[in-house]
Amino acid sequence: MRRRADSLVHALADFQESLSRHGVAIEDVNVSPAGRHAAPFVLRESWTIALGGPVAIWGAINHWIPFHGARIIARRSVESASDPAMRTILAGTALVLAFYAAQGILVAAFVGRLAALVYLASLPLAADVNLVFRERLRAAVRRARTYFLFRGRPKLRARLQADLQGLRTEAAEIERQLQETEVVARA
């Protein structure tokens, strides 16, 4: 059993190395290279960009100075490994709140208090959209790249799918054997 588990671990490492070498994420192994799947993907992602892009840009613009300022402050004097992370969190919180307050005061002075409240409420939402959007955009670019890779190399896709299925089957078989051994040991 031990040899079988070790073999599975080595096969998994080889599979991960192959994915890395080709720049394919494990969740993208089943990306279809068929042309009929491209149009819905492009349409879906285009709507995401059209709707989320402006809000994400708004969030990025409004948080760029405080976030980068926090990183600069965190790197100034490092005494332990946890210092940069803790200082980034503390400085980021303080700078974001200070920037929100300054922006709120400016908007209230020029447009009014109600507009300032709406504006301030939009800032954390825009920051969240920016973080989600960036990850979504990265995933879409990665999936599109994988799509073109698999269109050009269909045998690679088939091999990766077969390897992944083989790993899943072997893992399930090892789990089944372990459960059987456990049942026998209890009896």
Confidence of residue 147 (pLDDT cuts 50, 70, 90): very high
pLDDT in tens, 70-113: 888 887 766 766 667 788 888 889 999 999 999 999 999 999 99
- In a shared domain, residues 9 and 66: no
Residues 111 and 89 in one domain: yes
CA distances for 140 relative to 20, 23, 76, angstroms: 17, 14, 36
Range of the domain at 169: 1-30+154-187
Q: Across 66-75, 141-150, 160-169, which has the greatest mean pLDDT?
A: 160-169
Query: Rounded distance, CA 136 to CA 40, Å?
Result: 16
Q: Is 137 exposed, middle or buried (0-12, 13-18, 19+ CB in 10 A)?
A: middle
Q: Give dist(CA 178, CA 33) in Å, integer.
A: 38
Considering the domain boundaries, does residue 35 fall inside one? no
pLDDT for residue 178: 87
Rounded to whole angstroms, the Cα distance separating 36 from 141 reads: 18
pLDDT tens, position by position, 28-60? 999 988 888 888 888 888 888 888 889 999 999
In the chain, the number of structural domains is 2
Q: Is the pLDDT confidence value at 181 over 90?
A: no
For residues 143 and 58, state if they share a domain: yes
Q: Which of 100, 102, 93, 106 is nearest to 67 (CA)?
A: 93
Q: Does 160 lie in the same domain as 143? A: no
Are residues 25 and 97 both part of a single domain?
A: no
